[in-house]
């Protein structure tokens, strides 16, 4: 799970306005935890971010890790992502900042 978080929050250049959410990040998380999305579909979806063999293998490992989890674990992970992103937005918004967030 740490690898996915690093991948999503550091490796992917996602641009979000504070308070508006990250639709692409949500789509990445949904595809990551969805048992209906295969490893190859996942790699194709993120091909712009993984152009080397090592990065493609890392994506395959992340997706396979989530394919091996129970539905309860996948649900809990999705809830954790909502809480994490919401708390980051709220804590930064409450500080009175209205800056562009770069989720990478």
Q: In Å, how far from its chain's centre is CA 57? A: 17
Domain spans, the chain: 2-89
Using the predicted structure, report yes or no on whether residue 7 has a pLDDT greater than 80. Answer: no
Using the predicted structure, report yes or no on whether residue 100 has a pLDDT greater than 50. Answer: no
For 45-60, how does the pLDDT look when each residue is reduced to its tens digit (9 = 90+)? 999 988 899 999 999 9
Structure tokens at 50: 């993984």
pTM of the model as a whole: 0.61
For 78-99, how does the pLDDT look when each residue is reduced to its tens digit (9 = 90+)? 888 776 665 555 555 544 433 3
Structure tokens at 81: 């992502």
């Amino acid at each position: 799970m740490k690898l996915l978080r690093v991948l999503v929050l550091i490796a992917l250049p996602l641009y979000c306005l504070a308070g508006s959410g990250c639709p692409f990040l949500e789509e990445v998380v949904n595809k990551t935890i969805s048992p209906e999305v295969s490893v190859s579909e996942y790699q194709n979806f993120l091909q712009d971010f993984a152009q080397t063999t090592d990065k493609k293998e890392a994506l395959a490992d992340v997706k396979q890790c989530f394919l091996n989890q129970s539905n309860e674990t996948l649900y809990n992970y999705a809830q954790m992502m909502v809480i994490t992103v919401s708390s980051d937005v709220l804590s930064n918004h409450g500080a009175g900042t209205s800056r562009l967030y770069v989720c990478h």
